[in-house]
């Protein structure tokens, strides 16, 4: 399995468990951490711009990104409830995109002749539906929403691990039986 996909799947599972167990605390904490990170990035970018002001053209984007990041950081720090209300849409889009990548892996399993490729396809389609649900029908209760998001990430991590394991195993079996020019770690 490719290491970055494996690590992402494990991270999804851990994030899902944390969001399910501590939804209220986790939501506000994530907003504050992200806000602090954005604010620091913005301040460093603005500092870089000010230090290099004589090269203003070369650092014009640094000024823009610094202002935007600092403003977003402050907004996240001061208004975590508003940010949390936007979370379903942002995460829904992300989950749908990740599931579309999993759909691509399912099609690869099909092309490689794996008999149960449809299971990977089904897992990917459920992920797409869950992502769209987060966008179209966000829940009103923040804690319930965060728990649901945690369950979605837990599901996403488990389904990604399953399809990655199957794809890696199938490629290894194919290489044993009929050597092909494919690295089992190259699952992209």
Give the pLDDT of residue 36.
94
Question: Rounded mean pLDDT of the chain?
Answer: 83
pTM of the model: 0.51
Q: Can you read off the two tokens belonging to residue 65?
A: 């990104």
pLDDT digits (tens, 9 = 90+) for 36-73: 999 999 998 888 888 876 665 656 677 888 899 999 99
Q: Is it the case that residue 172 has pLDDT exceeding 80?
A: yes
**Which residues does 150 contact at the CB level (< 8 Å), separation at least 6?**
15, 16, 17, 18, 19, 20, 21, 23
pLDDT digits (tens, 9 = 90+) for 106-151: 999 999 999 999 999 999 999 999 888 888 877 655 677 778 888 9
Residue 88 banded pLDDT, cuts 50, 70, 90: confident
Q: Can you read off the two tokens belonging to residue 39?
A: 């604010």
């Amino acid at each position: 399995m490719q290491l970055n996909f494996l690590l992402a799947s494990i991270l999804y599972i851990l994030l899902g468990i944390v969001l399910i167990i501590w939804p209220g605390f986790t939501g506000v904490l994530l907003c504050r951490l992200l806000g602090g990170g954005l604010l620091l990035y913005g301040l460093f970018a603005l500092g870089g711009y000010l230090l290099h002001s004589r090269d203003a053209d070369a650092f014009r984007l640094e000024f823009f990104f610094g202002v935007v990041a600092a403003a977003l950081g402050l907004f996240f720090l001061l208004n975590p409830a508003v940010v949390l209300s936007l979370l379903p849409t942002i995460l829904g889009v992300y989950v749908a995109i990740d599931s579309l990548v999993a759909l691509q892996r399912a099609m690869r399993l099909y092309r490689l002749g794996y008999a149960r490729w449809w299971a990977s396809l089904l897992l990917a389609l459920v992920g797409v539906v869950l992502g769209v649900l987060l966008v179209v029908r966000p829940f009103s209760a923040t804690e319930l929403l965060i728990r649901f998001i945690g369950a979605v990430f837990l599901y996403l991590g488990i389904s990604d691990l399953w399809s990655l394991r199957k794809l890696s195993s199938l490629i290894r079996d194919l290489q044993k039986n009929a050597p092909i020019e494919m690295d089992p770690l190259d699952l992209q």
